[in-house]
A = this chain, B = another copy of it.
């Protein structure tokens, strides 16, 4: 059955009937607005949009996968402020001929990814559109701590990473060349494994800055360097290329470090910490902050792809 056959209200009913709600959901879908708990009298909020053909392809992953990815991109933004996500709102624009099961499975993926951090899909909107588009807003709680911004890094700080980089970019390259393996990389692209808990953990450890690595590590550290007015140097030997990635890079004529340093969408968290902080897992040191500007790799300007501009 196509979404046009079910209709807007029918589809909303089908989708919301599949959802469950965590304790932060004081009022769920079905009214003019949802109501979500904001225990410390502040709410962190972030919006990301995914456009078919630009951010995802329906033949590169299931609707459920795409739901996981769309949710992860937003939940990671909350984690990168040191917050714990509480809720997602989803605007879904669909071609009328789309199968309604696709929309239901997308919602399942969004809800399942949100549930991994105790958050819920609490509202949204649907419309027909020639272009399949998923706009997600994530809300989160900062647990009484100041938000960890991009602008607090100081010379002498340690740069640390939680989570993986390059896996999703490698998986995307594999898929775009028409392959479906290695599974490790393809699955990393389809459902990023985001170290959500590392966000509040870093805030508790006194992180001076933090960012969600979504555009590529060097590009995103560039945002931190600019906002903080510092230079950041990344140690290349802090990155270990897994065998599957090494083999895939060789087969495809790619540089695995271009994936690791330039590829986005694994949603690792990068943070800076005052010198001397004892970093528990999953945090691992990967570089240093110094006076100056810009991002270097092993002290040299990075010459690989610096990330992704969504208009170019």
Contacts and interface: CB of A to CB of B under 8 A. Distances in A.
Interface of A: 3-4, 6-9, 11, 26-27, 30-51, 54-55, 76-78, 80-81, 83, 87, 89-93, 96, 122-131, 133, 135, 137-140, 142, 147, 149-151, 210-212, 227, 309-312
B91 A49 contact: yes
Contact of A38 (B27, B41, B83): B41
A126 B151 CA distance: 22
A81 to B, nearest CB: 5
A45 B19 CA distance: 17
A30 B227 contact: yes
A114 to B, nearest CB: 14
Nearest to A219: B9
Given A41-B39, A45-B87, A129 B211 contact: no
B129 A47 contact: no
29 contacts: A7-B309, A7-B312, A32-B78, A32-B211, A33-B78, A33-B80, A34-B45, A35-B44, A38-B42, A38-B43, A39-B41, A45-B123, A46-B123, A47-B125, A47-B135, A48-B91, A49-B91, A49-B92, A49-B125, A49-B135, A50-B127, A89-B137, A93-B131, A93-B135, A127-B310, A128-B310, A128-B311, A129-B131, A137-B137
